[in-house]
């Protein structure tokens, strides 16, 4: 056996044995990759938790604001009748000449006007405001139809009279406006009456005779 043949198995064994430094490097690389994946996962979880916490905070603030704003809705709805009565009193006396009224009545009227302004100012401070209904299209979510008026020149369903104004509290309906609306007129029939059709057909015929050959058309 030659020296070359004796060296061949040794060289093969050396090639099969990996360098310990390479093994350590590969293990360290895998460890870094696993650590980076774990860090990315933890970062994603942290971002999701922060977003969820922010959503909960905003929802709690919105619910707290709505609870504060709408908590007095029942009381505010009851106070609307006070505003209605003040407005009716002013409307009734508004048609008269104030100068002809006794001084005591004029002072009373001025007090009623001042009370109404103060009440509406307090309404506005708490987000309560009236909305315009006259001339609007009837909306079942905002209007309460009390009667219909036929023979108007308005489109059917148009609000033509406001009995009591409607109010909002924030973006919610506090009270629907009580209104009168225009009534739709019945449409005339497109087909003429049978007698009219028969007369038209008779007049259009060139000449009709009876069984005896006599012309029956006048």
User: Which CATH number does the domain housing residue 143 bear?
Assistant: 2.30.22.10
pLDDT at 121: 94
Q: Is the pLDDT of residue 109 over 50?
A: yes
* Within-domain flag for 181: yes
Identify whether the C-beta of residue 204 lies closer than 8 Å to the C-beta of residue 176. Answer: no
In a domain, 23, yes or no: no
Tell me the per-residue pLDDT of 160-218, one tens digit each, with 9 for 90 and over.
999 999 999 988 999 999 999 998 776 555 555 455 444 544 454 555 544 444 444 44
What whole-number percentage of the chain has pLDDT above 90? 33
Is 154 a domain residue?
A: yes
More confident residue, 45 or 2: 45
For 18-34, write each residue's pLDDT tens digit: 566 666 667 777 888 88
Q: pLDDT averaged over the chain? A: 78
Asked whether residue 164 is assigned to any structural domain, the reply reads: yes
On whether residue 179 sits in a domain, the answer given is yes
Confirm whether 146 is domain-assigned.
Answer: yes
Residue 180 lies in a domain: yes
Q: Give CA–CA dist 5/49, Å, rounded.
A: 68
**Average pLDDT for residues 82-96, to the nearest whole number?**
85
The pTM (predicted TM-score) of the whole model is 0.57
In the chain, which ranges are continuous DSSP H helix? 3-16, 20-70, 73-94, 103-125, 194-204
In a domain, 136, yes or no: yes
The count of structural domains within the chain is 1
Q: 177: domain range?
A: 127-186
């Amino acid at each position: 056996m030659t020296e070359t043949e004796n060296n061949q198995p040794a060289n093969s064994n050396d090639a099969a044995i990996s360098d310990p430094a390479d093994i350590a490097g590969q293990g360290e690389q895998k460890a870094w990759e696993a650590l980076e994946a774990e860090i990315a996962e933890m970062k994603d979880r942290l971002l999701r938790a922060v977003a969820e916490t922010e959503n909960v905070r905003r929802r709690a603030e919105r619910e707290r604001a709505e609870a504060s704003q709408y908590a007095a809705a029942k009381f505010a709805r009851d106070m609307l009748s006070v505003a209605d009565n003040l407005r009716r009193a002013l409307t009734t006396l508004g048609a008269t000449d104030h100068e002809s009224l006794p001084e005591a009545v004029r002072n009373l009227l001025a007090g009623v006007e001042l009370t109404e302004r103060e009440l509406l100012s307090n309404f506005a401070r708490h987000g309560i405001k009236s909305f315009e209904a006259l001339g609007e299209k009837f909306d079942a979510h905002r209007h309460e139809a009390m009667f219909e008026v036929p023979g108007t020149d308005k489109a059917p369903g148009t609000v033509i009279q406001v009995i009591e104004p409607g109010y909002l509290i924030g973006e919610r309906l506090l009270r629907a406006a009580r209104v009168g609306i225009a009534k739709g007129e019945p449409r005339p029939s497109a087909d003429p009456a049978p007698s009219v059709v028969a007369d038209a057909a008779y007049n259009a015929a060139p000449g009709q005779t009876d069984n005896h050959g006599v012309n029956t058309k006048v």
